[in-house]
Structure formats: C-alpha cells, structure tokens
Amino acid sequence: MMQTRFEASLRRQLRQVRGQLGLREAQARPHFLGVGTQKGGTSTLCQLLRRHPEIFIPKVKEVHFFTKFYDRGEAWYSEKFANAPAGHLRGEITPYYLFHAAVPERIRALRVNMKIVVLLRHPVERALSQYYHSCRWKLETLPLEAALAAEEERLEGALEVIRSPGANHLSYQEHSYIARSRYEEQLPRYFELFGRDRVLVLRSEDLFCGNRSMLNQLERFLCIAPFPLETSIPRANSGLGEARNVPSQVRCKLEKELAPTFNWLETELGLRW
C-alpha cells in the first residue's frame, strides 16, 4: 500500500533533521533504485530526479554494480555516493537491473528495505526500440526478423553465466528483445523480495506525456517535496523513430508472442496500452 502523505512528510522531516545534524551512513548506500526497463524512459527519469534538491544521483547514470561490477564489492559501490550531502535521498538508475535475474537478491543483500522504481513501456514498442538501439551502437548486424528469430538461441546458457559475480553475457544484455519485454517474469522477483509496497510501477508513456499524477506518485513513494508546478519532463536518449517503418505483420507477430505479458499486466497491475 502506498504510504500516506503524513507518513511521507514525517520521513522527509526526519531526513532533514539528519541533514542538519550532518548524520549519514559510514558507508553510503542508495535508498532507492530505478531498475528499468531499458528503452523505457530511465534517462528521462534520471534527469528529472537529478533536478530535485533532496535527491543525489551519481554522475554516471548506469553504475551497473549489481550486474557487471558486482565482484568489485560494496566499498567500490559506496564510493559512488561519497559526495551525497547528509540528509539527501540517495539513488541510482540502471535499467539492466530489472531484467538481470541475479540482481534482486543482490540488492536485498545490500539493503532489505530498498525502494524500487520501475518504468514499463508498451512491450512491443520497447522490444523494437531496443533492437534499433543495438543497431545504432553496432551491437546488432542481423535484420529485425532474423534477430528476433535468433534470440532464443543467442540467450541459451546465459543464466548460468550471469549468476557469477562480475560475469557478463553480451546477448543477454544486448539481444534480449522479446525476453526483456516479458515483464511478468521480471517483476515478481522484486515483489517477492521487497513487497509490492516498496515497488513503484509506472507506465513510461505517462512519463513521456508529462502526466502530473506520475510526479505525485514519485513524491509520495520517495517521501520528497513536491516538484514545482512548472516542472517540465525532459526527453532524453530517445530513438530516431525507426520503429515507425516496421511492417504491420511483424508487429502483429510480436503482439501475439507477448500476449501473456499484456494479460498479466492488466490482471495483476491494471495496466493497459
């Protein structure tokens, strides 16, 4: 259950007192994480939260501690938050965290009461956007339909690889177009470990269109002061619109393949597109 405005205000006041007294953890850790989804507006969310005077986010948006650099240890991670002023809410945003199967348990090992922010984009649009993103970065050489057909084989054995601290699997990170859109396989891992009340799920499209209620939900969830009424929503790291030219039959095929995802989102979270 989302906490009340009174509870949020009280938490904020306690944080302000700690700031005034200069109190902070000896080894700074984040209070919240933006975990995804990739191509779902996390760059926009990062810029938005960085503007808030009560929040500290490291200069590097995607720290990747719980994925690619977990073997470097907590001291390495803590250094990313060393400059956070006392009393500030510390957070970081790495969209790979939502999909990476080993991450939720690693997060809980660091902080059992971590708050999790999740942006979910239309599953088909997200998958297509990721494909073209990989193409722009020269990480994909196959045509769209061939890449989608090759995905299952490319990801074979990936789970065993990525569970080893510090290990990475290129295709698991870069060629997981359909798999990353299967939110029904990713969100339950977080719900189980942190509880639904500590996981805020928002639609990416509501962020893109500047839906004020989305800002209100962030304020209550993170226990921060309201964003100014004139707050504008930045649009960061957006694509070039290549997906507009995808044939309708390819979209229909993806919608059919991801039908269980759409059904789960509506049934469990009341989300529709």
Q: What is the pLDDT of residues 232-255, one digit of tens each?
A: 877 766 677 899 999 999 999 999
List of domains in the chain: 5-122+182-269 (3.40.50.300)
Task: Output the six-digit token pair for 192.
Answer: 């189980």
Q: Which residues of 11-32 are buried (b: 16+ CB within 10 A; e: fewer)?
A: ebeebeeeeeeeebeeebebbb
- Angle formed by the axes of helices 123-136 and 248-257, nearest 10°: 120
Residue 194 Cα distances to 63, 160, 189, angstroms: 21, 24, 9
**Is-cis flag, bond preceding 141, omega within 30?**
no
Who's near 181: CB < 8 A, 6+ residues apart?
37, 123, 124, 126, 127, 258, 261
What's the Cα-to-Cα distance from 153 to each of 96, 139, 147, 172, 235, rounded to whole Å? 20, 17, 10, 11, 34
The crossing angle, in degrees rounded to 10, of helices 183-194 and 103-110 is: 20
12, 54 contact by CB (below 8 A):
yes
pTM of the model: 0.90
Q: Are 100 and 67 in contact (CB under 8 A)?
A: yes
Given pLDDT bands bounded at 50, 70 and 90, which one contains residue 16? low
- Say which DSSP state 199 is in: E
pLDDT reported for residue 229: 81
pLDDT of residue 154: 98
| C-alpha distance from residue 163 to each of 37, 103, 151 (Å) | 20, 9, 20
pLDDT score of 238: 66
* Other Cβ atoms closer than 10 A to 173: 20
Q: Give me the count of residues in the chain.
A: 273
pLDDT value of position 267: 98
Q: Convert the pLDDT of each residue in 36-67 to its tens digit.
A: 999 999 999 999 999 999 999 999 999 999 99
| Rounded mean pLDDT, 8-18 | 61
Q: In a 10 Å sphere around its CB, with 0-12 CB exposed, 13-18 middle and 19+ buried, how is residue 249 labelled?
A: exposed
Question: Is pLDDT above 50 for 182?
Answer: yes
Mean pLDDT estimate for the chain: 92
Average pLDDT over residues 83-102: 96
The predicted structure's pLDDT at residue 43: 94
Q: How confident is the model at residue 1 (pLDDT cuts 50, 70, 90)?
A: very low
Alpha-carbon distance 33 to 31, whole Å? Answer: 7
Share of the chain above pLDDT 70, in %: 90
Q: What is the DSSP string of 72-117?
A: G-HHHHHHTTTTPPTTPEEEEE-THHHH-TTHHHHHHHH-TT-EEE
pLDDT at residue 18 tops 60: no
pLDDT over 50 (residue 13)? yes
Identify which has the larger pLDDT, 27 or 84.
84
142-151, 228-237, 262-271: least confidently modelled range: 228-237
Residue 21: what pLDDT? 42
Tokens 């304020």 map to which residue? 219
Give residue-wise pLDDT tens across range 198-240: 999 999 999 988 888 899 999 999 999 999 888 887 776 667 7
Q: What is the pLDDT of residue 209?
A: 87
Supply the pLDDT for residue 106.
98
User: Residue 37's pLDDT is what?
Assistant: 97
**Cβ atoms of residues 61 and 38 within 8 Å:** no
pLDDT at 237: 62
Give the per-residue pLDDT at 228. Answer: 84
Strand 115-120 versus strand 55-56 pairing type: unpaired
The per-residue pLDDT for 2 is 52
What is the spatial distance between Cα 36 and Cα 43, in angstroms, rounded to a whole number?
A: 10
